[in-house]
């Protein structure tokens, strides 16, 4: 994933997309969630996790376009 791709992300990310942004595996990201060490607290929709894009990007030091206005 490159910077141009980040601008086209939806408001929420799947665990697979979030793992790609963080540069880790899905299993590692799930392990971080279970241990309470995830960089962002995901929303739980049943067994599925949804990651707020703005929070994920902020956690890696990027700001969304709305935050820079």
- Residue 65: predicted pLDDT: 63
Determine the structural domain holding residue 29 and report its residue range: 3-68
**Contact assessment for residue 47 and residue 58, using Cβ atoms and an 8 Å cutoff:** no
User: The pTM is what?
Assistant: 0.81
pLDDT in tens, 19-35: 999 999 999 999 999 99
Place of tokens 């206005």: 69
As for how many domains the chain has, the answer is 1
- Cα separation of 38 and 48, whole Å? 15
pLDDT tier, 3 (very low <50, low <70, confident <90, very high otherwise): low
Alpha-helical regions (H) of the chain: 3-7, 15-22, 26-35, 53-59
| Domain harbouring 37, CATH code | 1.10.10
């Amino acid at each position: 994933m490159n910077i141009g791709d980040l601008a086209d992300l939806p408001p929420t990310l799947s665990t697979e997309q979030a793992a790609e942004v963080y540069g880790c595996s899905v299993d590692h990201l799930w392990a971080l969630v279970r241990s309470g060490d995830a960089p962002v607290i995901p929303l739980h929709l049943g067994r599925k996790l949804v990651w707020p894009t703005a929070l994920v990007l902020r956690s890696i030091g990027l700001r969304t376009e709305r935050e820079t206005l």
